[in-house]
Amino acid sequence: MKKIKFNQFKGGPGNFFLVALFVGLALMAVLKLADFSHKIESISYSMFLKRLESNQVKAVIVTGNDVKGIYRDGKTRFEVTVPQIPKIWDLLKEHNVETNVVSSGSGDFGIWQFIYLIPFFMLLGAAWYFFRQSRSNGGNSGNIFTMSKSKAKMFMPSQIKVNFNSVAGATEAKEELADIVDFLKNPEKYKRLGARLPRGVLLVGEPGNGKTLLAKAVAGEANCPFFSVSGSDFIEVFVGVGAARVRDLFVQARRHSPSIVFIDEIDAVGKQRGNGLGGGNDEREQTLNQLLTEMDGFETADASVIVIGATNRPDVLDKALLRPGRFDRRVDVPYPDVTSREEILKVHAQGVKIDTAVDLKRVARGTPGFTGADLANLINEAAIIASKTNEAHVSVHDFEEARDKVLIGKELKTIILTEREKRITAFHEAGHALVTLLLPGVTDPLHKVTIVPRGRALGITFSLPEREKHSVSRDEMIAKIMICLGGRAAEELVFNELATGAYSDFSTATDIVRRMVCKYGMSKKLGPLVYNEQGENTFSEETARMIDDEMRAIMDECNEQVIGLLSLHRDKLDTLANALFEKETLHAGEIYTLLDIQSREEHLFK
């Protein structure tokens, strides 16, 4: 099937106006030249002598035997051929005639002709420039006459190489979208029972989770044309342009039906109406109104067009856009779980030379909260690190380094700690690690501890989750708070002083406590109530004071338990901190052996 480019340069009123303007100005230049030539009077040699002697000649230009001049009235020009030039020099001088002599072939008429032709050539160049710009930009950018054309990029089925097999993870989302594919492939299968084709599907998820990839996969599976456009492409400074672009987009989509229109970042054009006054807000609302009309205004029996929108802000979308009949389905595209992360890693690992010792399942386990884009970046960073050192394969160490770099930042080799700062940091991280080890039932297994500075952190303690968690108990949240407080508690216990390195730990602990009290009903005094602290508070000052008191009580209780736990195991704290001070980085296996604690690794993957 021949690829159709509907946004190429086309004739129209705008181009006709440009050509008419060009022809008109060129005609004016020609008429001006004609007018100039009509004012030149050809006279005889005797008439020239007579008028010269009567003092009527103001100035002349002599070119060989040809003389051109102007009378003293300043309006009439003349030309004459003189048989013997030397005889008239005295007459010209006697009557104070301004005289110029030029070489043959460079008369003043040629100069004036060139001057009058300059606008002609300028117009010709301008017309050529606008024509080339319109052709190079597809006729919809850089040309005011085609501004109302849609900026959507059209992909024919032969160009789309993506299908559901290309999308790792997102199992539930693919199942939802499989229905849309079946509708597009076999519409009669559903129409026979009275089912209608869904008008729109809204993909909701955080950036990087594969919304655009899923939309392309639907087009690839359905084997139909795919129009891709961003929500911001509709909005323009000129009022009415956005609505015109929406109309043009749907005209093209219906012409190639069955087809799919994908609008990325639809919240740019689909925000709730009535939140602003005038200006760009009016243009956006007109564009949204046109989109609403197009989605609910065409007959599905005549044109099968599915609109797929993608956003990470469904809360700001207009209610009219979300009602049945427009976006009939909402498909959530969540963060990938550990199984999906492993599948995504395998997809992006294709073509990368990875050491056989690398366990992608373990890598997936150590990347909770990573999106598909993050995982692709992780493998790329690991390959870059291995390439810098000319390694034959990407090793486990390269993946460790890449993950640390992505999560925390690059290793800061320029920061040189004093011996005291390094020792304080060692005890701080040892405190985090030891609390993790001493609460085995409610914490994730320890993975690595390091006091090598990265990003804004002077040291890091890593834990890897045993499994994907979909809910967290109160005991697990208390354990997380205690781990956060373990660093400061160790410093205070050993050095009897307070330092600034625990700020991020306190920030994390405070956030956990606040959620326990205000969202999860884990407070004894406040009970199972949700207190929203975003925007206007819905509770009294007394309730706010109770929230503060409950948060402080939980934090103080956790802090006392941590200090007691570390005091009881002070020998293990000293051993771990001293080893960390010497080696700077310790992995879980080394720590288990060092402290004579049973390893939790044997329970993993069961």
Cα dihedral 221, 224, 228, 231 sign: negative
Q: In whole angstroms, give the CA distance from residue 47 to residue 38.
A: 19
Q: Rounded to 5 degrees, what are φ and ψ at 519? A: -120, -35
Q: In whole angstroms, give the CA distance from residue 55 to residue 92.
A: 10
Cβ distance 606 to 464 under 8 Å?
no
Q: Provide Rg for the chain, Cα atoms.
A: 40
Q: In whole angstroms, give the CA distance from residue 567 to residue 563.
A: 6
The 3-state DSSP class for residue 445 equals coil
Torsion of CA 370, 373, 375, 376, to 10 degrees: -170
- Residue 58 has, within 13 A of its CA and on its CB side, a CA count of 9
Q: Which residues of 125-145 are buried (b: 16+ CB within 10 A; e: fewer)?
A: eebeebeeebeeebbbeebeb
Distance linking the first and last C-alpha atoms of the chain: 53
Please report where in the chains the tokens 């390439």 appear, as a residue.
Answer: 387
**Eight-class DSSP state of 444:** P
The residue type of 439 is L
Q: In what order do the strands lie in the sheet with 259-264?
A: 153-155, 226-230, 259-264, 305-311, 200-204, 329-332
Cβ distance 78 to 87 under 8 Å?
no
At 60, list the tokens.
């002349």
**H helix or E strand, kind and range, residue 590:** helix 588-595
Q: In whole angstroms, give the CA distance from residue 488 to residue 559.
A: 9
Q: In whole angstroms, give the CA distance from residue 354 to residue 341.
A: 17
Q: In whole angstroms, give the CA distance from residue 90 to residue 497.
A: 113
CA angle 413, 418, 424 (to 5 degrees): 100
Q: In whole angstroms, give the CA distance from residue 573 to residue 568.
A: 10
553 by Cβ neighbours in 10 Å (0-12 / 13-18 / 19+) ranks as middle
At 434, list the tokens.
């030891």
Cβ distance 398 to 385 under 8 Å?
yes
Q: In whole angstroms, give the CA distance from residue 183 to residue 189.
A: 8
Tell me if residue 584 is catalytic.
no
Q: In whole angstroms, give the CA distance from residue 228 to residue 215.
A: 9
**H helix or E strand, kind and range, residue 244:** helix 241-255
Q: In whole angstroms, give the CA distance from residue 548 to residue 558.
A: 16
Which member of 429, 491, 492, 550 is catalytic? 429
Active site residues: 429
